[in-house]
Structure formats: C-alpha cells, structure tokens
Chain A
Amino acid sequence: MDHLTDVLTAISHPTRRAIIGQLANGPARFLDVAKPFDTALNAVTKHLKLLERAGLIERRKQGREVFISFRGEPLREVAGWVNEYERFWNKRLDHFERYFEDKKEKKVKEK
C-alpha cells in the first residue's frame, strides 16, 4: 500500500485523531497517551502502531523513558491530495461523465 493510504488510514479513526490532538500539545509517555481513553492498553498500542507506520508519531528514548511525539510532515501529503486542482479535475470529470450517461440514456429511450 502507498504511504498516502497509510496516512489516511491513520487519521480515519477518531481515537487516533484524538491521540494526534493530544500529542500536538507536546510529547508524552505511553501511559499518558493512553490515560484519556477507556480502551484497553493493547488497543492503544495498535493505534500507535498505525500512527507510527504513517510516520505521524515518533518514539524517542530519554533515559529510561520513551516519549512519543507528533510529526506533522505526512499531513502535507493529505493536504496535497485535496489539492485545488484535484477538486477542479474531479468536478470536470463529474460533468463529463454525466454528459455521457445522459447520452446513453437518450439512446436507450430512442430504441
């Protein structure tokens, strides 16, 4: 799967967005990340794995502790994906496709 898909998957779950929101305020330890959620710890671990795969978080060891921090860079890809030109061309193709669908319908009716 491509990286954009990893990023979109990562931000598709409200809990993962909440984790990002939390980490956007600064790095935190695993238990602090997990604290606001009623989910089992291994569910949080799974969420973090998906975020890590997307490159949205980073783990850094500081002494004995591991701090998790947010990395915003992959979100650029998402921003690029909803590029103005993407919307422009998709809109064009919506109209273009509809034109051919209408044409096809007319043909069927005429028969």
Chain B
Amino acid sequence: MRPPTFARSLVICAATIVLLLFLEGALNVVMAQNPFGAPRPSGGELQVGGIVGWLLAKQSEFYREMSSTLRAAKSDGSAVWTLFAISFAYGIFHAAGPGHGKAVISAYLVANQETARRGIVLSFASALMQSLVAVVIVAICAWLLNASAKTMCGTEKVVEIASYALIAAFGARLVWTKGGGFMRALQTPSPSLALAAHHHDHGPAHDYHDHGSHVHDEHCGHSHAPEPVELAGPGGWQRGLSAILAVGVRPCSGAILILVFALAQGLFWAGIAATFVMGIGTAITVATIAVIAVSAKDLARRLSAGREGRGAIFMRGVEFAAAGLVLLFGAGLLFGYVAAERVTCF
C-alpha cells in the first residue's frame, strides 16, 4: 500500500478536529431536544435563537428554581428531593456553559496519552473538588466567621487568581515536556524513529514519564508496547492530581450564592448536598466532552500510525499544541483576556 502523504494525514486530522467541533454542537442539540424526556418548548418564550437560547433559558430556570425550592424546603421537607433533582440538571447544563474546566481537562488529555477512563475519573474528581471548595469557602467565611459578602468575594477572587496561576503553571510544565518530545520527533531522522522510540528519555520529560514516544511502536505492532497498567501508573495519577487541583480549585459563583442563601434559610446541609449533586451533573457533561476529545485523538493517532516519522511528528505536534493551549488558557484567564464566569463582587 502506498503510504499516504503527510499532507493527507494533516487533512484527515483537521477533518477529525472539525468533526469534534460538530460533535460538541451535536451533543448540545441532543441534550437540548431531550434532556429528561422533556419536549422542546414551542417558540413564544424563546428570545434567543435555537439551541443556545434554549440552553441559556434552561440554565437560568434551573438556577432560579434552586433558590425557590430551597425556600419551599423550609416548610416542606420533601422539597429537598426536588432541590437535588434541579441541582443535578443545573450541573449538567451549566457545564455546557463557560467552563475553563472542560477546556483544560480536554486539552490536558489530548496533550498526554490519556485513556478515556482516566478522562472520566479526572472530570469527576475535579468537579467534586470544585463543589468542596465552594462549601469550604462558605462554611469558613459565612458560617464560622460570619464575614460579609465583600470579604467572601475577596476570598473568592484570591482563590480564582491562584487557580488561574495553577493552570498557567500546569500548562507551562506540559509545554516544557511536550516541546521536548516534539523537538526530538523533529530531529530524529525518519527511518530511525522506530529505534529511538525504544529508549527511555532521561531529560526533563522523565518527570512526566513521557509515554508519547511509545506510541509509534504501539501502533506499528512492535513488541515493546507499554502495558495499559503502565500507562496509568502511579506517576500518572500524580500528574493527574495537578490537573484536578488546577481545574477544581476555583469554585462556581452560582454554588456560592446558593450556599449562602441556604445558610440564611437555616438549611445549610441541604445547600451542601445540592452543591455536590450539582458537581456530579457537571462531571457528567465534562466527562462526555473529555471522552470525545480522547476518542478524536485516538482516531487521529490511528490514522497517522504506520506513517513512519511524519505521523509521529504530527502526533507530537498535536500534543505540543494542546499543551500550549493549556498554557495560553491559563495565562489568558490570569490576565483577563479570556472571560470567565465573573465573581460576584458588588
């Protein structure tokens, strides 16, 4: 078989990425049409076009229902179950919104040789961490110290900046490692790349246990393919932990508002439970997107495999680009170029 050209593989990969883009859009359509068997509302109250407007309207609706249900739960205990159901739905919808979480996690998964399973675990861990941070902030500031909204907001801002700095640092570390892998792939003459892939690198990349260089033989049917266990080895979880920290440390403003409201209603426990249920909903959406990202990369990898040096260069390039994106994203958030959900301070 004639080996496909590099240009062709690029086209295939570009197509994959575009496909991914539409998949996310399609996911939104599916969710919009049938979230929980609910029919699409017919025109009328829809102000903004199509799916986006509908998503927005739903989010606002769920969000507002959370506080009204909390109020109702004061006199009627069974309303708590409604509250949990709404919180779950809100979490699912909200994660489809402006979240640096899913962007960073997806880019991280693409930059590393991550499995879909790890993507799911990372999504859940970071979403639950996010819930935990919101609960801890409100518990300490509002419940224990009875601090004012201004103080609480100040705390939120500090945590937010720290979180962005963490993402940027995390991205910088990824760029450093992936840049190395990419440069090596570029410098290695094509015929000997298969050989190069067999030796372990002891450069800075070693921290990350860069499995990237194994990909080539893995897909060329060589015998030195890494075992799945090795891929998610102990070192792997450690670096996964930094992803969870970077993404999960920044709480959602909505959760904080709801928690303070619950505290004022004397139903702090219900607010805490609702926050975690919300986190599970968020995790489901983020995990879905993460799995799509991993599958797209797998597809690209399969398409570029067996293409000697160039395929490897291309994959290292994709990883490097994804690492760069995490860095850009972190820096963008830190310096305000990327708009995130605003912290309520007024």
On whether the two chains bind one another, the answer is no
Residues of A within 8 A of B (CB): none
Residues of B within 8 A of A (CB): none
